[in-house]
Amino acid sequence: MLGGTRSGKSAFAEELAGRAGAVRYIATAVVDSADGDFAERVAAHRRRRPAGWSVVEGDPVAALAEPAPMTLIDDLGTWLTARIDARAAWESPRGTAAPDIDALIAAVTGYDRPLVIVSPEVGLGVLPATHSGRLFTDEIGDLNQRVAALCDEVYLVIAGVPTLIKGAATGTGTAATTSGGTNDSASAFTTATAVTVTATTTATTAAAPSVPGVSTGLNGGATAEASAMAAAVPDSAAAASLQSDVVAGSPASDSAVASGGAVADEAANGSAATVSASEIPPAGDPMYDLSGDAPVFGSVTAPDPHVRVQAQERQLQLTKPVGSLGRLETLGNWLAACQGRCPPRQFERARVVVFAGDHGIARHGVSAFPSEVTVQMVANFLAGGAAVNALARLSGATVRVVDIAVDADTDPSVSAYKVRRSSGAIDREDALTEVQVHAALAAGRAIADDEIDGGADLLIAGDMGIGNTTPATVLIAAITDTEPVLAVGRGTGVDDAGWMRKTAAIRDAMWRARPHLKDPAALLRVAGGADLAAMAGYLAQAAVRRTPVILDGVVVTAAALLADALAPGAKAWWVAGHRSTEPAHQVALTKLGLEPLVTMDMRLGEGSGAVTALPILRAAIAALSEMATFADAGVSTKDEPVATTVAP
């Protein structure tokens, strides 16, 4: 249950949890007797609780070690405040409370009884003016996203009115299937899909659920039908009830577990689930010529928090001072969580897929090179002569190029997923038709499946297309509300006159894109391109399939913004390889909350920056998996006395 101050979130949570009967109420607030106003707020909560409820005051991590028929935690905001207080970390950098947060996520993940959690939603307000305020906002925002990814249902409560933004509380009894009209998300980018749910009570629509279903567990209350290909019709009233930047996860997937259906089993160690290659539709399959809704992406599960904690604990045992390897340690922990094992394995099949496509805007003087270079570079990739080929050979990766929208004929080996020849000039026309953007998204999804089913354990997206930084900048500036002059770079090296033409084209394209900011597929159709849409589908599906990705430069990161909207939570599976010299790239990285691994003034694209960063990830794995522990090496820790030998 998310909501602002005095939104009614706690009252709604209590009413919902109370339908199950007796409730264990975990109160996280630490009452300061000197703060009369806060003490009165706590007293009001106490007066509202039924007499038959049991109350636990303190840390929910310890409380969740003991099961109960129904548990309500109220709330995560006061819990996080207490954790930051305990560590005296209000002036410290972000991440100081990470061990506490990881422990909470691990406790929630492992809890298999009904659980209702209340937390403040801080993403709808202004950015706090103080460091401590921004610290709390950032930490609780990240925590809310991680908890929401685990929950079957997420509600946003505004002015006492709850709106279901994740999950589907419809139908009665068991295995009730929605057939349409269910809004899966009232987020800024609304995604809806047909789902199968298990509910214990009858519910109304997501817009104002009068009797929402109580989920029976955090990790299995809502599963998708394996055969569901058509998306449900969004509930326009529910979508209209929330005009904000909230991005909620979709619980359904056309490849997820379904009752009685064929499924793709997820490996017990949390690694990428696999399906038979014969299940991947060929390029000519009707799914690539959709005339209805955009392809639906499955729900994204965050990297394994239990394994992340194991990796953090192992880092403490390695023969080095704590934290002395800096980001290599946090990267190693993240990669262990992505792989679902500690220590993690070294990458065995790192794959770069370069998405090639031309753009009509290149014909209007925004690039220093002609569009003919795109098809020539495709041939260069195939011959192994491009920069990304050379860098990939050094870093232990292999390269594949796919023609999505090159304005020429290319080798049949790379054109199986071709959507069209060149995307439209976005300052005066749409980049794609609706059918074409859906086909491009589906193509990217299929390419990701193809690579992962072929054994890829790390993916990189690269780009090749003259003029492609123009639509990339449009998408980034539009989504982040950035002025064109602050976002426009030199691309392939245009002169001042070319920069002015490019800025004007971006301004005009942003004006055309403005009505579509809440719809990622429409935004790609109007102001993106087939290559960008395919990259977005590829990045989204990689996260759905639990496969880590190194992001490249401004074009790939623009696609990543849309991918995280198509598959909310996808960014948890990505790391930024580098920071481009294109101004829009840093804007997009900030929006995603990603810090680049290297800054080397690169702006080539192709995946070159990501491949340059790949050895850093390999080093992080090597350090975590191959270093000796203090015990193994017989090395004393700083807290142990050093053994001395006295000469006879």
Domain of residue 378, CATH code: 3.40.50.10210
Residue 190: partners with Cβ closer than 8 Å, 6 or more residues away: 183, 184, 234, 239, 518, 519
Residue at 201: amino acid letter: T
Higher pLDDT, 203 or 500: 500
DSSP 364: G
Same domain, 252 and 132: no
Looking at the structure, tell me whether residues 79 and 194 fall in a common domain: no
In a domain, 325, yes or no: no
pLDDT of residue 215: 34
Write down the pLDDT at residue 290. 40
Residue 623 belongs to a domain:
no
* pLDDT tens string 375-416: 999 999 999 999 999 999 999 999 999 999 999 999 999 999
Rounded CA-CA distance 111/419 in Å is: 46
Active site residue 14: no
From 304, 395, 352, 346, select the one nearest 620 (Cα to Cα).
346
CA angle 176–223–549, rounded 5-degree value: 160
Q: Helix %, strand %, coil % for the chain, to 5?
A: 40, 10, 50
Same domain, 395 and 531: yes
Q: How does residue 621 score in pLDDT terms, banded at 50, 70 and 90?
A: very high
Q: What is the pLDDT of residues 225-267, one digit of tens each?
A: 333 333 333 333 333 332 333 233 333 333 333 333 333 333 3
Residues making up the chain, counted from first to last: 648
Active-site residue, from 139, 329, 451, 606 = 606
Average pLDDT, the chain: 80
Which SS3 state, helix, strand or coil, does residue 57 take? strand
**pLDDT single digits (tens) 256-290:** 333 333 333 333 333 333 333 333 444 444 444 44
Q: For residues 98 and 219, state if they share a domain.
A: no
Do 30 and 143 sit in the same domain of this protein? yes
617 inside domain: no
Instruction: In whole angstroms, give the CA distance from residue 296 to residue 537.
Output: 10
172 and 241 co-located in one domain: yes
- 206 in a domain, yes or no? yes
- The domain tally of the chain equals 3
Give the range of the structural domain holding residue 371, as residue numbers without chain letter: 347-611
Are residues 45 and 93 both part of a single domain? yes
Query: Tell me, what amino acid is at 135?
Result: L
Mean pLDDT over 127-153 rounds to 88
Domain boundary residue, one of 260, 276, 311: 260
DSSP 507: H
In this predicted structure, the answer to whether residue 522 has a pLDDT above a threshold of 70 is yes
Asked whether residue 428 is assigned to any structural domain, the reply reads yes
Task: Select from 594, 99, 545, 536 the least CA-distant residue to 340.
Answer: 545
Euclidean distance between CA atoms 483 and 481, whole angstroms: 7
pLDDT on residue 199: 31
Q: Which among 1, 5, 8 has a CA at the least distance from the CA of 159?
A: 8
pTM, two decimal places: 0.58
141 assigned to some structural domain: yes
pLDDT at 639: 67
pLDDT at 270: 32
122-126, 315-319, 445-449: lowest mean pLDDT where?
122-126
Q: Which of 260, 288, 306 is the last residue of a domain?
A: 260
In a domain, 319, yes or no: no
Sign of CA dihedral 192, 196, 198, 199: positive
Residues 180 and 91 occupy one common structural domain: no
What average pLDDT does this structure show over 57-74? 90
CATH code: domain of residue 40: 3.40.50.300
Of 118, 150, 182, which residue sits at a domain end? 150
Q: Are 125 and 232 found together in one domain? A: no
Nearest to 149 by CA among 315, 373, 346, 300: 300
